[in-house]
Amino acid sequence: MTDFAIRYGEHVTRARRDGRPVVALESTIISHGLPHPDNLRVAHEIEQTVRDQGATPATIGMIGGELVVGLDDAQIEHLALAEGVAKLSVRDLAVAAARRADGATTVAATSAVAAAAGIGVFATGGLGGVHREANLTFDESADLTTLAGTPIVVVCAGVKSILDVGATLERLETLGVAVAGYGTKRFPGFFITDGGFDVDWGLDSPEQVADVIRARADHNVGAGALILANPLPVDQQLDPDLHDRTLAEGLSLLARGGITGKAVTPFLLSHFHESTEGQSLEVNVRIILRNAELAAKIAVAAATPAT
């Protein structure tokens, strides 16, 4: 008999047993989205932020082929610091397990695993989406198609501003993924507060989001995710001019370097972090921590019986 079953960290097993709120967290931001050594510190800060709100963090990733929901500190440190940690989307999970790989899970893989584990709320930084010039490269993140069939709330700051935001919103509509702004009906652009597009719905409190979760469960119609877009306050965003310059430069380096596929997102993020001398990194960390806090509040509200 083989056994590739999902493993649960002890803290997550206890929380599930007692019916306490759990928030899923991804590991690609740790291994591939943030530079060393900040990534390890931030990974712990994210978990602490979730705990401070009374929820249990379940960081998801793969260690030696074991798919783990609720990595412990040593496992998180390993994914943060080891060389050669794979970036795993959903399609990679079984192959990586069979090869006994170490891997970090993307939004797509983390949401799919979290939903399989019965976790309803997930916090990340920015969603993957349709890349600029996707009409030529066909580069659209598997985050989108996976979320079409995954009943989970993803708290994010919109899609990364390195993407084609308008095209991504169109694809989310086609794919049946719900989108709501948190406290706004403008869709944020990750590093920048306003991504330039309206959304149809605004939700204003963790309780309102918990009601959406309940309505979806009661209706039992459709299986798509809810993307809850939580913008940074304007005074905390990356300076929009600096943002636009850095992005233009990054995109031309990308073209010159012939960088494609799953290397694109990590390349652009690290270009931002280097060429803004850490300003974008600070913003990125702020985004993730704010989303972790909101996700934890939603998980707590969803675990509290509605009155």
Binding-site sequence positions for Mn(2+): 139
Residue 297 among the catalytic residues: no
Q: Is 128 in the site for ligand PSU (CB under 6 A)?
A: yes
The residues in 79-118 that bind ligand PSU, with binding defined as CB under 6 A, are 106-108
Residues 120-149, interacting with Mn ion (CB under 5 A) = 139
Residue 143 binds: one of ligand PSU, Mn ion, none (C-beta under 5 to 8 A by kind): ligand PSU
Q: Which residues are annotated as a binding site?
A: 87, 107, 139, 141-143
Return the number of the residue (167 or 303) whose C-beta is nearest ligand PSU: 167
Among 49, 59, 230, 265, binds ligand PSU (CB under 6 A): 265
User: Would you say 102 or 300 has its CB closer to ligand PSU?
Assistant: 102
For ligand PSU, which stretch binds (CB under 6 A), given 39-47, 51-59, 122-130, 179-187?
Answer: 122-130
Give the nearer residue to ligand PSU in terms of CB position, either 171 or 262: 262
From 160, 262, 293, 297, the catalytic residue: 160
Least distance (Å) between residue 174 CB and Mn ion? 18
In the annotation, is 185 catalytic?
no
The reply to whether 143 sits near ligand PSU by the rule CB under 6 A is: yes
| Tokens representing residue 96 in the block | 């990586």
Binding site for ligand PSU (CB under 6 A): 26, 28-29, 32-33, 106-108, 124-126, 128, 141-143, 262, 265, 269, 284
Instruction: Tell me the catalytic residues.
Output: 26, 160
